[in-house]
Structure 1
Amino acid sequence: MNICMAHRGWSGKAPENTMAAIQLALAEPAIQAMEIDVQLTRDGVPVLIHDFTLERTTNGSGLVKDHTLEELRQLDAGKWFDEKFAGEKIPTLAEALAAIKGHCTLNIELKATSDMYPGIAEKVLALVEQYGMKQEVYVTSFDHELIRHVRTLDQEVQTGLIVYGRPVLMLEQIEAAGASILSMGYPYLTRELTAAAIEKGFKVIAWTLDEPAYIREVMSWHPEVQICTNHPDRMLTLG
């Protein structure tokens, strides 16, 4: 049966990458996995936020990396989505791990580009180790060199490449990075590539699927393809 992965928590019902979105996803037993985005504060603390800038999902401005944790914690990360979420904060990765441990698989996307966040892999892996969640997480990124670095640091944690496009030698790239997961934008994923990847023992995540017709189609390709969606309810009602 296809795994339902809540994208940035249940972001169709609550502000993305907040504890509210995480708790909503945890409250639905049929959601077996969750995806979150991680960056570092100026003082080196892993926090949950997607954009490199603060404007879209908070009442702050500027780059995430230019603010300390204390500064980020002053911001409202919920009101933009709905007034009832006013007061939601940007969570730390530690808070997310504590809540999710033992409940579902967690796909941690490292929102890093080249040298933007030195030490992000080490800091995230240290927290995963601290919470005893090596068997419960995936670590993924668009930065394939970063994923190769994660693999050199830890041989146990499952790692994956995020891809939006259809590069040649895709499966060979996964192997070259020491990864075992292909996380691909669904417009570029095909039935054939899905089958080939799973046949080689890789996990396949399709993102971000929100329209029921597309969800149904991709689910039909293979029972093991994981569906990453902002609206888990739409997938779960397909049966």
Structure 2
Amino acid sequence: MRNPCVAHRGWSSRAPENTMAAIRMAIQDPDVEWIEIDVHLSKDHVPVVIHDPTLRRTTNGKGEVKNLTAAELTSLDAGNWFSQKYQGEPVPTLDQVLKETVGHCKLNIELKTNGIRYPLIEQKVLECIQLYKAEKEVVITCFHEGTLYRMRKLSGIIRTGLIIDGWRNTLPKELKELSSDFLSIAYTKLNKERVALLKEAGIQIMAWTINEKRAIRKVAELDPAILICTNYPDRWHEVRQQTVSHR
């Protein structure tokens, strides 16, 4: 198996998702080529790394991310919910993540917007990326096509990709119209015919979120270039090792 590994929200099975602890754990594994993270904007328009629009599930805070400043968000505890070992682990900013990942690991940055929430998100995320000259080390993904269009308009260099949990045969055409060459898709929606259609159109595929070894193996068999997005990079390692030993 040659499929690259994408650590979903960092190494999120071993450390609290979207924290520097989970991200550093993924960086330290030289075989993990990608990390996927989620980005919202703070009240003062700073890109912060957290999955939900609300704070309750993964922090000791309450309310919505957009209603707190970056200083307030980064003072929250984003680790204790996962384990006491990570008590005090803060919500990181995108700036902090890029500072440690550039030159070590590629980033899939998902913008958590529906096109209305965070009207400045594309600009602010782009400014962060440009600060670290990381334009060629990231791909920007989103469920919202208009967001991808705006990002491409702001930067003709940064790759963009659509996120989808379904399938339609018009996807290659839609991605071409968006000048996107990346598709982040629920792994259960993939089969040989769909993979062939996407590959023919020059689209890189990331399959999410694959946590069972049997499913990792099944997706890998579709095509060796499919990125395997998982909470368990260790299981990806196991499947890869088993594949090598069976040759």
Fold-level similarity (TM above 0.5): yes
Trace 1:103-122 onto structure 2 (pairs within 5 A): 103-122=104-123
Over the matched positions of the two proteins, sequence identity in percent amounts to 45
Structure 1 stretch displaced more, 166-175 or 118-127 = 166-175
Q: Deviations over 1:31-82 (max 9, x none)?
A: 0101000000000000000001000000111110011112112210000000
Q: 1:238, CA displacement in angstroms?
A: 1.1
Q: How does 1:145-160 map to 2 (within 5 A)?
A: 145-160=146-161
Matched, 1:212 2:213: yes
Give the superposition deviation at 1:168.
Answer: 4.0
Q: Deviations over 1:133-156 (max 9, x none)?
A: 111000000011100111111111
Q: 1:116, CA displacement in angstroms?
A: 0.5
Q: Which residue of 1 aligns with 2:88?
A: 87
1:96 counterpart = 2:97: yes
Give the TM-score normalised by the residue count of structure 2.
0.95
Deviation at 1:113, TM superposition (A): 1.2
What's the CA shift for 1:126?
1.1
Give the corresponding residue for 1:23. 24
Partner of 2:54: 53
Query: How many Å separate the matches in 2 of 1:122 and 1:107?
Result: 17
Is the 2:74–2:93 contact (alpha carbons within 8 Å) kept by the matching residues of 1? no
Shift of 1:89: 0.2
Letter aligned with residue 82 of structure 2: F
User: Residue 53 of structure 1: SS of its match in structure 2?
Assistant: coil
Is 1:75 the counterpart of 2:76? The answer is: yes
User: 1:156-183 CA deviation, whole Å, 9 max, x = no partner?
Assistant: 1111000011134111111121111010
Question: What one-letter code is carried by the residue in structure 2 that aligns with 1:9?
Answer: G
Cα distance between partner residues in 1 of 2:169 and 2:85: 46
Once residues 236 and 184 of structure 2 are traced to their aligned partners in structure 1, the CA distance between those partners, rounded to angstroms, is 18
- Residues 138, 159 of structure 2: 8 Å contact kept: yes
Q: Per the alignment, in what secondary structure is the counterpart of residue 130 of structure 2? A: helix
SS class of match (1:32): strand
Cα RMSD for the two superposed structures? 0.9
Residue 114 of structure 2 aligns to a residue whose secondary structure is coil
How far off is 1:216 after superposition?
0.2
Give a deviation string over 1:199-222, Cα, whole Å, max 9, x none.
221100000000000000000111
**Superposed counterparts of 1:120-135, under 5 Å:** 120-135=121-136
Q: Is the 8 A contact 2:56 2:63 kept in 1?
A: yes
2: CA distance between counterparts of 1:2 and 1:188?
18
CA distance in 2, matches of 1:77, 1:106: 21
In structure 2, distance between residues paired with 1:215 and 1:2: 10
Q: Distance in 1 between matches of 2:196 and 2:206?
A: 12
Partner of 1:146, secondary structure, is helix
CA distance, structure 2, for counterparts of residue 148 and residue 190 of structure 1: 28
1:63: which partner in 2? Answer: 64
Matches of 2:68 and 2:191, distance apart in 1: 41
